[in-house]
A and B are shown apart, each in its own frame.
Chain A
Amino acid sequence: MWDETMVMMLLEGIRDTFYMTFVSTFFGYVIGLPIGIALTLTDQGGIAPNRTVYRMLDIVINITRSVPFLILLILVMPLTKLIVGKSYGSAATIVPLTLAAAPLIGRMVESSLKEVGQGVIEAAVSMGAKTTTIVFKVLIGEARTSLLVGVTIVLGTVLGYSAMAGVVGGGGLGDIAIRYGYYRYDTGVMLVTIIFIVAIVQLMQGVGMFAAKKLDHRA
């Protein structure tokens, strides 16, 4: 069974898994990072408190976060078809993955940015800094370690979700595991895909933590 086609399939699976995970996480941050920043700024005690905006974002995040990923995946299929042109395969899976990652990322970013001390923010305000300077230099700059740890956690979660998408032909290692392990009772292939998934998560975790530590000047 370990012929060339099988090896090729597994290699493609690894490639697709990486592709889905990184592209979805990237687009997730494109949406989630501004949301996290907005949540931080508009919350009580933020530098631009706005109850209405905060509550609205808060509610939207809570709702989207409470839809289980597998259901979200099916729910957004019409949208996926509209954007990608089809509802199966790894490119199509990026749409629901991004939508699932964005609110999670919004929350992670919010909690990272809120770790930045009020005093440093106040010092920047007293220097006459623009809000954008405070956001990039003070909030993101000071919280970068925590933000990077957040990226690592998000990558792991998105990878897990991407494997789940295998149930509906989402592509990647999860897809292979379900097709071979579940439909064909081929435990061998399934175990190999699991080993790869675990290895990838470990790798991302290791790199992320290393980078976070390297960038931290606090201790």
Chain B
Amino acid sequence: METTYIEVCNLTKTYSAKNGNVEALKSVSLSIPKNEIFGVIGLSGAGKSTLVRCLNLLERPDSGDVFIDGQNLMTLGKEQLRLRRQKIGMIFQHFNLLEQQNVLENVCFPMEIRGIPARQRKEKAMELLKKVGLTDKADAYSSQLSGGQKQRVAIARVLANEPDILLCDEATSALDPETTKTILDLLKSIHDTMGITMVIITHEMRVIQEICTKVAVLDQGVVQECGSVTKIFNNPKSGAARRLLLMRETEEMADVG
């Protein structure tokens, strides 16, 4: 039996907007096993970004609980939460690098936050840059990098604190299909060598197919379906899953044509 590592129970989150309230999450429950690469897919506005941002409480749900390794994040104090976050890595669609710091300094930043001595963090950062294949870019600034390179820097940076969880919020959505593939390969190899539990948020079926083992289909703030990727791909039960698969097919047809 696999052990559950991340468990969310009855998460609800409502945003008040100009024209009424938007229910981003309606009592979402999920359990994510340790060492899994878990996908969450949905169309834009489905609530998937809100969901992943609730996993490290960047967004506080209105109600519900977030357990990580048995610990309820919702009950943590500000300082405890801050320290816990150091072990929950997150990468973003727009990379979010410090633009005034070079690549090496960016990778050092999380270690600086943890108070690791300068020499040690520099050594570790170079090691990580080697891992993501950017040793020659250590002195470059983010304006000199391509999108794929920026995401590699973000990945090196997120690994600097040796997280046990990696949250990926549309991490490949700003990248072209080929670069997407190389980033996903990198994530997969990191998963295989370091054994990090990953949560991948995306609107692209091909991302799920490429690297995830399990997937949850989110639509209108509700988990419509959850299970192994092959099962859901071969036999989608929910309307949302079918729509997403259909989109994938038209995408492929467009690629061929």
Q: A-side interface residues toward B, CB under 8 Å?
A: 117, 119-120, 122-130, 133, 137-138, 141-142, 144-145, 215-219
Contact = CB atoms under 8 A, between A and B. Distances in A.
A8 B143 CA distance: 51
Contacts of B99: 120, 142, 217-218
A119 B92 contact: yes
Contacts of A117: 96
27 contacts: A120-B97, A120-B99, A122-B92, A122-B96, A123-B90, A123-B92, A123-B97, A124-B109, A125-B85, A126-B88, A126-B89, A127-B85, A127-B110, A127-B161, A128-B82, A128-B84, A128-B161, A141-B98, A141-B100, A141-B101, A142-B98, A142-B99, A217-B100, A217-B102, A218-B100, A218-B141, A218-B143
A19 B118 CA distance: 39
Question: For chain A, what secondary structure do more than half of its interface residues adopt (helix, strand, loop), or is it mixed?
Answer: helix
B56 interface: yes
B83 interface: yes
A127 B113 contact: yes
Contacts of B112: 133, 137
B96 A127 contact: no
Contacts of A129: 82, 113
B113 A130 contact: yes
A140 B61 CA distance: 30
Nearest to B59: A122
Given A123-B92, A127-B86, A141-B100, 19 more contacts: A119-B92, A119-B96, A120-B96, A120-B97, A122-B92, A123-B90, A126-B88, A126-B90, A128-B82, A128-B83, A128-B85, A137-B109, A137-B112, A145-B100, A215-B100, A217-B102, A217-B141, A217-B143, A218-B143
B122 interface: no
A124 B100 CA distance: 14
A127 B94 contact: no
A128 B113 contact: yes
Chain B interface size, under 10 / 10 to 19 / 20 to 34 / 35 or more: 20 to 34
B256 interface: no
B58 interface: yes
A89 B6 CA distance: 68
B58 A126 contact: yes
Nearest to B158: A127
B56 A126 contact: yes
A125 B100 contact: no
B104 to A, nearest CB: 13
B98 A125 contact: no
Contacts of B141: 217-218
A11 to B, nearest CB: 40
B85 A216 contact: no
Contacts of A142: 98-100
A155 B58 CA distance: 39
A216 B100 CA distance: 7
Contact of B109 (A125, A127, A130, A215): A127
B242 to A, nearest CB: 33
B96 A123 contact: yes
Contacts of B161: 127-128
Nearest to A127: B110
Nearest to B114: A128
Contacts of B88: 126
B74 to A, nearest CB: 17
A118 to B, nearest CB: 9
A125 B90 CA distance: 10
A133 B86 CA distance: 14
Contacts of B113: 124, 127-130, 133
A147 to B, nearest CB: 11
Nearest to B163: A127
A138 B194 CA distance: 29
A37 B42 CA distance: 38
